[in-house]
Amino acid sequence: MQKRKLGNGLEVSAIGLGCMGMSQSYGPPRDRRAMISLLRQAVERGVTLFDTAEVYGPFANEDLVGEALSPVRDRVVIATKFGFAIEPEARRDGKPNTGGRGLDSRPEHIRAVAEASLKRLRTEVIDVFYQHRVDPEVPIEDVAGAVRRLIEEGKVRHFGLSEAGVGTIRRAHAVQPVAVLQSEYSLWWRRPEEATLPVLEELGIGLVPFCPLGRGFLTGRIDERATFDAGDMRSNLPRFTPEALKANRALVERIGLIATRKRATPAQIALAWLLAQKPWIAPIPGTTRLDRLEENLAAAAIELSPDDLREIDAATTQIAVRGDRYPEQLERLTGR
C-alpha cells in the first residue's frame, strides 16, 4: 500500500478504513469477532489509518477498534473524535440529558473525552484527535488550545477538524497547527473544491474524505428500488429517496463506462479519482466485508491519465446531483 503525508509529519496509507459502520448507522452492529478479524486483515493488507469516534455506538466502536488494533498498535494510526455531549453525561446546565446529542467542545470536556478514549482504545496516545463538529458556543481558539495541551502532555499527536469552514480552520491553525481536515468529498459531493481545498493546500493541511463512495451509491449497487431499514441512516437522507436515486443513476452510469474501460469497478474509479486530486488526500471508505475492503484497496493501484480525469470531470459536472446530502438540521452543523 502506498503511503501519503497529510500534514505536520503525519504519514498514513493512501486508503484508510472508516470503522463507523461496524457499530452503527448502516443497520445493526456487526458481529464483534468478525469485525476484529476484518480490522486485523486490513492491517495485513497495508492499511495504517483507522477512523473511529466516541459517538459511534456510542463508545462501542472505539472499544472494538482498541481491541482489534492493540496487538499491532505500533503499525497503525488511530483517529478518533470529540465534540458531542453523549448521554448519560450531564448537560451544560448541570441537568441530566433527556435525549439527543448536543455539541460540547468545552476544554474540560475535551480532556475528559481524551482520557476516556485512551482507555477504550487501549493506547497511551491518540494519533489524530478531531473536533467532530464545530461548537458555536466555544471559541475555536479555546478548542485548539485544549488539544495543544494534550499534545504537549503526550496524550495526542495531531489535531484535526471535521466539516469545519475555512474561517474556523485558519483560526484554529493559528493556535495549534491542524494536521488534517476530515470532510465529505467525492464525485457525489464536490463542494470542498470551492474554498476548502485551496486553504488546505496553502496551510499544509491534509484532507481525509469520509463517504468517498457516497454512502455506497457510487459503487453502482444502489438504485431506486433500494430499501433501507430504520437503523440505516440513508432512510432519512434526501439523496436516498427513490426519486433522487433514480435521477442520480446517470452519474453512476457514466462512471461505470469509464470503469469498464479501465477494467475496474465504479467504486475503484471513484477512489482513484480522489487520490488523483491531491497527494495529501487519503480517503477512508468504510466496509464490513473483506471482499469490499480488497476492492477498495485495489483502487490505489489504478492510474488515471489526464485524459481520464478530464473525461470524469466532464461527465460528472454535466450531471446535476439531485437531493441534499443531509436533512437541514444536520447540514447546519457543517461548514462553520
Instruction: Write the pLDDT tens digit of every residue in 5-57.
Output: 999 899 999 999 999 999 999 999 999 999 999 999 999 999 999 999 999 99
Structure confidence at residue 96 (pLDDT): 47
Amino acid found at 180: V
- Considering only CA atoms, which of 12, 42, 26 is closest in space to residue 290? 42
| pLDDT tens-digit readout, 283-329 | 999 999 999 999 999 999 999 999 999 999 998 888 889 999 999 99
The angle subtended at Cα 307 by Cα 182 and Cα 194, nearest 5°, is: 35
Whether a cis peptide bond, with omega within 30° of 0, leads into 88 is: yes
The angle subtended at Cα 116 by Cα 133 and Cα 331, nearest 5°, is: 15
Can you give the C-alpha Rg of the chain in angstroms?
A: 19
CA distance 181 to 6: 9
| Average of per-residue pLDDT values in the chain | 94
What is the dihedral angle through the alpha carbons of 288, 292, 298, 300, rounded to the nearest 10 degrees?
A: -50
Work out the burial of residue 241: count CB atoms within 10 Å of its CB; fewer than 13 is exposed, 13-18 middle, 19 or more buried: middle
Structure confidence at residue 250 (pLDDT): 93
Query: Which grid cell is 163?
Result: 466539516
- Considering only CA atoms, which of 165, 147, 164 is closest in space to residue 156? 147
141: Cβ–Cβ under 8 A, 6 or more apart, which residues? Answer: 171, 172, 174, 175
Residue 111 gets which letter from DSSP?
H
Query: Which grid cell is 115?
Result: 482520557
Q: Which helix (H) or strand (E) holds 215?
A: none
Q: Is 60 exceeded by the pLDDT of residue 153?
A: yes
- Considering only CA atoms, which of 95, 38, 78, 242 is closest in space to residue 160? 78
- Considering only CA atoms, which of 251, 260, 232 is closest in space to residue 186? 251
Residue with cell 467532530: 132
Domains and CATH numbers, the chain: 3-331 (3.20.20.100)
Q: Is the pTM of this model over 0.85?
A: yes
- Considering only CA atoms, which of 252, 249, 246, 251 is closest in space to residue 224? 246
32: Cβ–Cβ under 8 A, 6 or more apart, which residues? Answer: 64
Q: Is 60 exceeded by the pLDDT of residue 179?
A: yes
- Considering only CA atoms, which of 212, 123, 140, 211 is closest in space to residue 178? 140
| pLDDT tens-digit readout, 81-116 | 999 998 655 445 555 444 346 999 999 999 999 999
CA distance 46 to 300: 11
Mean pLDDT value across residues 110-128: 98
| pLDDT tens-digit readout, 197-237 | 999 999 999 999 999 999 999 999 999 999 999 899 999 99
- Considering only CA atoms, which of 284, 280, 283 is closest in space to residue 6? 280
Query: Which grid cell is 68?
Result: 482489534
- 160 with 167: CB under 8 angstroms? no
Structure confidence at residue 317 (pLDDT): 85
Point out the residues that are catalytic: 56
Mean pLDDT value across residues 67-90: 90
| pLDDT tens-digit readout, 235-293 | 999 999 999 999 999 999 999 999 999 999 999 999 999 999 999 999 999 999 999 99
